[in-house]
Amino acid sequence: MSFVKTKDGTQIFYKDWGSGQPLFFHHGWPLSADDWDSQMMFFVNKGYRVIAHDRRGHGRSTQTSKGHDMDTYASDAAAVVTALELTNAIHIGHSTGGGEVARYVAKFSDGRASKAVLISAIPPLFMKTAEHPEGVPMEVIDGIRKGTAENRAQFYKDITIPFYGFNRPGAVVSEGIRENWWRQGMMGSAQAHFECVRVLSETPFYDDLKAINVPVLVMHGLDDQICPFEATGALSVKLLRQGTLKTYPGFPHGMPTTHADVINADLLAFIQS
């Protein structure tokens, strides 16, 4: 297994397959690099080098109780980029990983990133405030915290239903997809996942989005029950210097998995543009 040690001693697990232009994938809460398997298999077979890491406290990385803030998450990604000597990389983030991409490209990339993609992502701000009334109410966020702290085994089973839109009429439920989400979540630290809820919900990305000076594709499902489009993707693209928005009617939060064929084709078109 491959790891990079950060300045504070945390071991960050990563996958690194293939050769060619690097595509660096950043996963969502509370998952791992495995959540990108559909994309990594597709792109490695298209001649790209594909990299994905497990965020600290998630997956196979160190279950540390420290460093749970977006700057540290982005710095950890930068440590992997530096260790692998990646340049001209395209950074692709889903959900919380989209926030990580925004912070990394804005503050930590040192010119190594050539493009970025935010998929069903949390920027510019996940939670509802007086200035951001479209956001997710605090009582919903507190429910995520409570489920994570008190009975995450059951909570992680339950959340897969809205995550993948399996509660919609006519949806074909995949137990394999649900179990894989649960497997990834249960690999990580409950404490790290609990802290990450604060990070993903309370971190603002307005300045990050404004500072990014590379092309960014914002991809968002219009039936996203986790990161509502009007609170996140719709606002993010307005703040980007070189932002392009692509929306998907009826697609859920977990659309890179449920609609991998569509998402992969659109990613490829952006990467090659």
Active site residues: 95, 224, 253
Distance CA 104, CA 70 (A): 9
CA-wise closest residue to 50 among 64, 29, 36, 69: 36
What the block records as the tokens of 92 is 């692709």
